[in-house]
Structure 1
Amino acid sequence: MTSATGSGPQHGPAPLARYADTLTHVELTHIEKRIENWIRFGRHVSDHILNRRRRVLSYRPGSVFGFIRWAANDFGTVASRIDIVRAVAPGEAYQTLPYIRPGGEILLTVDGWPKVCQMLRLIDDVEAVGLDACDVAPDHWRHVANRMSVGQAPRAYTPERHQAWLKRREIEG
C-alpha cells in the first residue's frame, strides 16, 4: 500500500508534497549547461538536499528572496528570469510560480538575460550601500519592476529611504 501523497518505493520521492507547514519551499536545480535555478538573496530557515542536483530551501512567511531561473538547450539560452518574491502566510493570497510551493507574492519579475543582468546590478547597488536586499521595502521592488517595464531607470534605494520604510513599518505594525 502506498501513502496518500504518492510517495514510496513504487512512485519515487515527492519532496515538496511532504511539507505541510507554514513555510514557503523553493526547489533549486542545477544541471550543468541546461538548467540552473538559484537564490540571489534571502534568508532561508531550512536547506534540504534531495540529490546531487536538487535541493529545497524554505522561507518563513514575510521573507523576501530573489529567485533566478536559467535554462538552455543545444543552441543557447532559452529562458532567463528573476523573480523577487515575498513568502506568504497560510490564508494569504498568492501567485503560483514554478519551483515555489505554495507560491508567493510576486514583487518583481524580469525576463531576458540583459534585463536580468541589469536587475543583478541593481541588487548589487543596494548591497553596496550596506543593506541586505531581502530587507528592502517591498514597494521598492515594485517600483523597480514598473520603471524597468517602461524602459526607465529606477530610483536608487538609499539608507534614507530604508530608514523611512522601517519607521513606516513600525507605525503600521
Structure 2
Amino acid sequence: MTGLAAASTRAARALHTPPDNLTQVELVWIEKQIEHWVRFGRERREQILDRRRRILFFPPGSVLALVRWAANEHGTVVSRIDILRTVERDAPCQTIPTVTPGAEVLLHVDGWPKVERVLHLIDAIEARGIDPIEVSPDHWRHVHNRMAVGETPRAYGLRQHRAFLMRREIGA
C-alpha cells in the first residue's frame, strides 16, 4: 500500500469513528444541488474537510435540528428536517444519513411545505426567548406526531417550558 493510500484509509476510518464518544454530523454544501445544515444545536467542535464539507461533533444528550435538501435538473428531490438527540456510545439509536453512529429521532418531516412549517415553529420558539435545544423532547415528538396525521401542533410556551425545566431539575 502506498503512503497516499494508507493515509486515505486512515482518514476514511477516522471519519467513521467519532472521537471521545461524540456523534458526528457531516454537512455538505454544494449550492443549489446538496445543502445540509444544522438549524440549531451546540457542537463541541468542528472539522473542515474541504470548502464544501465539514463535520460537527456533538456530545451525548445534545439536541440538534438537521436540515437536508437536494435537487437535480428537474427540481427538489429531497427536503427533510430531523430533530435529533445524540446518544452515548453503544446505546440503541436510529441510523440517519450523515450522522455517525446515529441518534434518537425526536422529529422527522419530509417535503418542503412541512419542513418550512417546522422551521416556522422553531422561529416562534426562539421569538419567545427559548433556546430550541432546551425544548422538551416530548414537544418535538408531539410536533412529529401531529404533522404525521395532518394536524396542527400545539405551540410551545413559557409555561410548558418552565414545567419541563422543573421536571428535569428534580430528575423525573
**Superposition TM-score tier, normalisation by shorter sequence:** over 0.9
- Any stretches of 5+ residues in structure 1 without a counterpart? none
Distance of 2:41 and 2:152 partners within structure 1: 24
Distance of 2:42 and 2:8 partners within structure 1: 35
Q: Percent identity?
A: 55
The alignment status of 1:126 with 2:125, answered yes or no, reads: yes
Shift of 1:19: 3.0
1:8 to 6, 15, 19: 6
Distance of 2:165 and 2:108 partners within structure 1: 24
Distance of 2:18 and 2:40 partners within structure 1: 23
Provide Cα deviations, 1:17-68, integer angstroms capped at 9, x if missing partner. Answer: 2534211100000011110000000101101100010000011100100000
SS at the partner of 2:27?
strand
Partner residue of 1:163?
162
Provide Cα deviations, 1:87-122, integer angstroms capped at 9, x if missing partner. Answer: 101232100100000000000000000100011000
Shift of 1:151: 1.1
Distance of 2:149 and 2:88 partners within structure 1: 32
- Any stretches of 5+ residues in structure 2 without a counterpart? none
SS at the partner of 1:90?
coil
Shift of 1:152: 1.0
* Distance of aligned partners of 1:106 and 1:2 in 2 relative to their CA distance in 1, 3 Å threshold: farther
Give the helix-richer structure, 1 or 2: 2
Structure 2 letter corresponding to 1:86:
R
Distance of 2:16 and 2:90 partners within structure 1: 18
Distance of 1:59 and 1:26 partners within structure 2: 8
Superposed counterparts of 1:109-120, under 5 Å: 109-120=108-119
Shift of 1:13: 3.5
* RMSD across aligned positions (CA): 2.0
* Distance of aligned partners of 1:169 and 1:158 in 2 relative to their CA distance in 1, 3 Å threshold: same
